[in-house]
Amino acid sequence: MEVKSLDEEAKAEVEIWNYVFGFTPMAVVKCAIELQIADVIESHGGTMSLTDLSSALACSASALSRIMRYLIHRGFFKLQNQAYNQTPLSRLLMKDNVNSMSMAAFLALESSPVMLAPWHRLTSRLLIHGAAAPFEAAHGGDVWEYASANPGHSKLINDAMACHARRAVAAIVDHYPQVFEGIASLVDVGGGNGTSLGAIVKACPWIKGINFDMPHVVGVAPQCDGIHHVGGNMFECVPKADAAFLMWVLHDWSDDECVAILRKCREAIPKETGKVIIAEAVVVEAGEEDKYSDVRLALDMVMLAHTDKGKERTMEEWESVVKGAGFSRYTVEHIGAIICVIEAYP
């Protein structure tokens, strides 16, 4: 017992420094994205010397070498024959990623001053007589009100959600394509700029898509074959379709609000043949963790900081919400991603 205790103490002495400087990875990666380091290296054949890279970026070679040393240590680039080379991780920072799997926009959102400010007010959220929700305390309104009044931030959100949408829809189509079988029309509730629905319609061209979101969101959404953009309020009415699709929408809201949204979705689909497809994270219990468990728990902290009542849910909590909305049954499909696919039937 004493040996184990000493070992744990030694590990703690090292581990605590990861939290002291925990902001460093995000800050340095944000710098790399803003400088477009990965894009520039890719445009030069995927390999560049320090001299060539610093010249192309108009950066101090000395400072850039230190940034690159840190990024290499974190796996973003490799140094071979005195030249910086791309890695699979560095390519995810490219703003113009040929495989459309870049995470640059998502990192840009979460590292923006607007989204960082609420984290400094997280403690007050936990106090019984605490102040308003962190985002509201920092900006005077919730994230949706702020986005509506600030088009630049609204675009950051839409671009970030598009990052996730491309990856998530690809995972659904690859691992559970049958979820879209037999659906002639699909309404994407809270579909943002239509990236999710566009990917679904491309993979399933028989589907007629309805991208449904707030007017200021769909008003700037790009046109896409097979998709009709509709503005509105999901708490009031959802456009009718064979099935409704919600991805990373319900985690922004309280249980009661989720029930209200799902009831509107249930009203929009056929009672006998319709279904609501929910693509959300499911928090697992200790001992059931997978490679994305840390991400899901981090997302729950994001919900705590950035929303008023949002949260990531366990399967028991999802069951309560789905049944509370009046659905008779549901199924759950694990697809090896951050999200699972829950199908709720009237």
- Residues recognised as catalytic: 251, 280, 312
Q: Which residue type, as a one-letter code, is found at position 81?
A: N
Please, which contacts does 210-218 make with residues 24 or more away whose CB atoms are closer than 8 Å?
210/185, 210/186, 210/239, 210/241, 212/187, 212/188, 212/238, 212/239, 214/144, 214/148, 216/147, 216/148, 216/151, 216/154, 217/154, 217/158, 217/192, 217/193, 218/194
257: which 2 tokens? 């609000």
Residue 342 phi/psi, 5-degree rounding, is -105, 125
User: Of 50, 282, 293, 273, which Cα lies nearest the Cα of 182?
Assistant: 273
CA distances from 156 to 100, 165, 319 (A): 17, 14, 32
Backbone angles phi, psi at 84, to 5 degrees: -85, 130
